[in-house]
Homo-oligomer: A and B are copies of this chain.
Amino acid sequence: MIYAGIDLGGTTIKGALVSENGEILIQKAIPTGGERPHVEVVTDMANLILELMSTYGCDPEEVAAVGVGSPGSIDPENGVVVEANNFADFRNVPVREIMYGILDKPIYVDNDANVAALGESMFGAGEGQKNCVLCTLGTGLGGGVVIDGKIFSGAYHGGTELGHTVIVADGEQCTCGRKGCWEAYSSATAIIREARTAAEADPESKIHEVCGGDLSKLNAKMVFDAADMGDASAIRVKDDYIKYLGLGLTNMINIFQPEVMMIGGGVCAQGEKLLSPLRKILEREVFAGQFYKIKFRTATLGNDAGVIGAAMLGKINE
């Protein structure tokens, strides 16, 4: 069978037909137009699936189900986007109902971070293991948890806010209102914030050089680059970042003890520069020395994790 997936993003809607082995057979992205009435956005999502089936030339009967990954708060039981602040008119949107009316197929809806974790667990870094945690280090720190092959998101689907766990009591202000959240130390935003502060205090720092003298253009990679050049300020920022990231990852391993702990996001392009010191921390800190049981990996599906995971909602719900 073939599974259709939609990755609803702030700027584009990405659609794909995916084989049961997680292979993308055909894909296309269209503009979201998130300022429009929700019915128009969701209708575009359904029509994108029709177009993909037609272009790929498959018998519509071959497509078993359609899965949608959406930002915001989701009610997977009813296939409703409860609220997605990125869009103008996304409150209590009956995505399943609207899409079913057009496609006449089972429609599944879940949160985008959750479906990315599902995709990675099945066909990415998780390699098909049934208990996986994905922490995505981006603007925020997003968590996705797969337990026994299914998405776990709490009783009311508002859980696994892994980034909003305090690791430094009374620490940095977080966007959620708390102080000292893991997200405020281990998101990409956090390393950039700390590097800017360090550069402002150190006019000789190579951090100025790597961003062409414009600290507003700084990204996580540049901080690692400056550290590679031996810059003391950048090394300190990088080492602190890794320390807090390792601390939070240890917390999550002590809680979930997954088969695979995965990290994703642009900063993971640093590969062993990031993984090697993290492994040392995890070996030392995970409860009862049990880190050896756990595979620790960077995510491998990149931007495709969302659409593949969304498609797989159909497969795991069969």
Contact = CB atoms under 8 A, between A and B. Distances in A.
A250 B156 contact: no
Interface in A143-201: 147, 152-162, 164-169, 171, 176-178
B247 A166 contact: yes
Contacts of A244: 169
Interface stretch (A7-15, A222-230, A251-259): A251-259
Contact of A165 (B152, B158, B164, B165): B165
Nearest to A130: B155
Contact of A154 (B129, B162, B256): B256
Contact of A258 (B129, B154, B177): B154
Contacts of A250: 166, 178
Given A155-B131, A255-B159, A257-B154, A168 B168 contact: yes
A161 B258 CA distance: 13
B255 A161 contact: yes
Given A168-B169, A169-B168, A244-B169, A285 B177 contact: yes
A156 B290 contact: yes
A100 interface: no
A130 B155 CA distance: 9
A94 to B, nearest CB: 21
Given A256-B154, A257-B159, A258-B154, A167 B166 contact: yes
Nearest to A168: B169
Contacts of A176: 287-288
A254 B164 contact: yes
A259 B155 contact: yes
A293 interface: yes
A147 B255 CA distance: 13
A250 to B, nearest CB: 7
Interface string A237-261: 0000001100100110111111100
A90 to B, nearest CB: 16
A35 to B, nearest CB: 24
A188 B171 CA distance: 25
22 contacts: A73-B288, A154-B257, A154-B258, A155-B257, A158-B257, A158-B293, A161-B254, A161-B255, A162-B254, A162-B255, A165-B165, A165-B254, A166-B167, A166-B247, A166-B250, A166-B251, A169-B243, A169-B244, A169-B247, A176-B287, A176-B288, A178-B285
A-B pairs with lowest CB-CB distance, top 6: A154-B257, A159-B257, A165-B251, A131-B155, A161-B254, A155-B259
